[in-house]
A and B are shown apart, each in its own frame.
Chain A
Amino acid sequence: MNTLTDRYVWAAARNVPEVQRAEFANELRERIGDESDALIASGHSPADAEVAALTDLGDPAALAAHYVDRPLHLIGPRYFLTWWRLLKLLLVVVLPIATAAVLLAQLLSGDAVGQAIGESIATGISIAVHLGFWTTLVFAIIERSPSTVKVEIWTPEQLPQVPDAGRSHWLSDLIASAVFLVFFAGAIIWQQFFSVYADDAGQPIPLLDPELWSFWLPYFLVLIALELLFAIAVYTWGWNWWLVGANVVLNVAFAVPALWLFLTGRLFNEDYLDAAGWPWAEAGGIIATIIAVMFVVIPTWDVAEGIIKTVRGRGATRVTAAV
C-alpha cells in the first residue's frame, strides 16, 4: 500500500518536466521526511506528523509550480498589457466589420430581414468568443514558452491626448449619433413590416420599394454601420482632416444613391403612394422638391459641421499650447 507521502510525491512530480522528475521526487521525499521527523521529535505520533507535514506543504500542483518556477497565472504582467491592447483592438475593429459583412451577405442572398439580423448577431457573438479565446491561447503559450518574445516597446508617442473640455462634448456627439443611427436603421427595417396602409389581403404596404432589398437597402444599412464606426472614431481621436475626408466619402455614398433613387422614382413604393393618394395636387411638387433639397442640404451641413469642429479643435489646441 502506498503511503500518503508516496501519493503526495507522485501528485506533485507529475507536474514537473520528465527530466527533472526523479530528482524532484527525491528532494521532496527528503523534505517531507525531515519535516515529519521534526514534528515527531516535538511529540506528534508518526501518522499525525506525516499528515501535518503534508498539510503544511499544501496543494501538490501549486508546490510543484513553485519549485519549477512555472507561472500560476494565465497571462503574467509581462504580456498582460500587450494582450489587453490587442484584444480591445480586435473587438473594436474586426468584430463590427465581420458582423456587418455577415449581415450584408445574408441580405444579399435574399434571407428575410429578421432572420438575417438574428443570424448576424449569433455570428457576432461567436466571432467575439473566438477572438477572445484564440488571442488568449496564443498569449498563454507565449507566457509558458522558454524563449522570451519581444514585447512592443512603449514610446512616448503612444501617449493619449489629454481629454479637454471638448472631449465631453465628443461623448454627447457620439451618443446622439448612435441613437440617431440605430433609430434610422430600425426605421428602414420597421417600415417593411408595419405601415399605416394595408393591401386587400391585409398585409402592410411598406413605404420604401421592397425591390430595394435586393441591394440598396442593405447597402444603406451597411453605411449606417460604418457611420457608427465613424462616430466612434470621432469620439476616440477627435475631429481631424482625415475624419473630415471620411465624413465626405460617407455622406456622398449615402446622399448620391438616395437622391438618384428618389429622382428616378425608385425610392418609394408605388402601392404606398397610391394608398396615400399621391400626388396631393399642387402640394406634391413642393414636397418632392423639399425632399430632394433635404438629400443635398443635410449631408452638406454634416460635412460643414465636421470642418467647423476640426478648425475649432485646431484653434483650441493652439490656445492650450500658448497657455
Chain B
Amino acid sequence: MNTDETTAGHLQELRRGTVVLACLVRLRTPDYGYALLESLNELGITVDANTLYPLLRRLEKQGLLTSEWNTDDARPRKFYRTSATGEQLAGALTTDWRRLDDALTRLTTGDER
C-alpha cells in the first residue's frame, strides 16, 4: 500500500462521521439527494454519491430524517428533512466535535494541562 492510499483511507475514516453531522444540519431545510450532494461538495465536505444515497436511506430508517415525495417537477424527487431525534443527535455530535477540536488544539499547541 502506498502513502497516497494510506492517506486516502485515513481521511475517509476521519470524514465518515462528519458526513452524518453535515447532513443532519444541512437538512433542517428539506432537500433531495443530488442537491444535497452538490451543496455539501461546494462547502468543501467531500462526499461520494455511493456513500450519500445509502446513508440517507439508513438515517431515514433510524428515524433521524423524515422524507416526502415531491412530484411538482417532471421527475419525482424524495425530499429529506431532519427529524426531532435527528436534531438531538446533531446537537450531541456537534458538542463532541467541538470537544475534539478543543482537545486537538490544546494537544498541538502543547498546553494540554
Which of A26, A27, A33, A35 meets B49, CB within 8 Å?
A35
The answer to whether A66 and B50 touch (CB under 8 A), given A26-B69, A26-B78, A30-B75, is yes
In residues 53-78 of chain B, which contact A (Cβ within 8 Å)?
53-54, 57-58, 69, 75-78
- Name B's interface SS: helix
Cα-based distance from A27 to B53 in the complex (angstroms): 9
Q: Is the CB of B54 within 8 A of A30?
A: no
In the bound complex, residues from chain A placing their C-beta under 8 Å from that of B77 are: 30, 34
* CB nearest to B69 among chain A residues: A26
Which of B50, B57, B58 meets A27, CB within 8 Å?
B57
Q: Is A69 an interface residue (CB 8 A)?
A: yes
Give, as a whole number of angstroms, the nearest-CB distance from B50 to chain A: 7
Q: Is B91 an interface residue (CB 8 A)?
A: no
Cα-based distance from A63 to B54 in the complex (angstroms): 9
- Name A's interface SS: helix
Give, as a whole number of angstroms, the nearest-CB distance from A62 to chain B: 10
In the bound complex, residues from chain B placing their C-beta under 8 Å from that of A38 are: 34
In the bound complex, residues from chain A placing their C-beta under 8 Å from that of B54 are: 66-67, 69
Q: Is A29 an interface residue (CB 8 A)?
A: yes
* CB nearest to B61 among chain A residues: A69
In the bound complex, residues from chain A placing their C-beta under 8 Å from that of B75 are: 29-30, 33-34
Q: Is the CB of A31 within 8 A of B49?
A: yes
Number of interface residues of A (CB under 8 A): 17
Cα-based distance from A30 to B78 in the complex (angstroms): 8
Give, as a whole number of angstroms, the nearest-CB distance from B113 to chain A: 36
Q: Is the CB of B32 within 8 A of A30?
A: yes
In the bound complex, residues from chain A placing their C-beta under 8 Å from that of B78 are: 26-27, 30
Cα-based distance from A27 to B78 in the complex (angstroms): 7
Q: Is the CB of B58 within 8 A of A31?
A: no
Q: Is the CB of A30 within 8 A of B33?
A: yes
In the bound complex, residues from chain A placing their C-beta under 8 Å from that of B57 are: 27, 67-68
Q: Is the CB of B76 within 8 A of A31?
A: no
In the bound complex, residues from chain B placing their C-beta under 8 Å from that of A33 are: 75
In residues 42-81 of chain A, which contact B (Cβ within 8 Å)?
56-58, 63, 66-69
Q: Is the CB of B53 within 8 A of A67?
A: yes
Q: Is the CB of A31 within 8 A of B69?
A: no
Cα-based distance from A31 to B34 in the complex (angstroms): 7
Give, as a whole number of angstroms, the nearest-CB distance from B75 to chain A: 5
Q: Is the CB of B69 within 8 A of A69?
A: no
- Write out, one digit per residue, whether chain B residues 97-113 have a CB within 8 A of any chain A CB (1) or not (0): 00000000000000000
Interface of B with A (CB < 8 Å)? 32-34, 49-50, 53-54, 57-58, 69, 75-78
Interface of A with B (CB < 8 Å)? 26-27, 29-31, 33-35, 38, 56-58, 63, 66-69
Beyond A26-B76, A58-B50, 18 extra complex contacts between A and B, CB < 8 Å: A26-B69, A26-B78, A29-B75, A29-B76, A30-B34, A30-B76, A31-B33, A31-B34, A31-B49, A31-B53, A34-B32, A34-B34, A34-B75, A38-B34, A57-B50, A67-B54, A67-B57, A69-B54
Sort A-B residue pairs by CB-CB distance and give the 8 closest, nearest first.
A34-B34, A33-B75, A67-B54, A30-B77, A66-B54, A27-B78, A31-B53, A67-B57
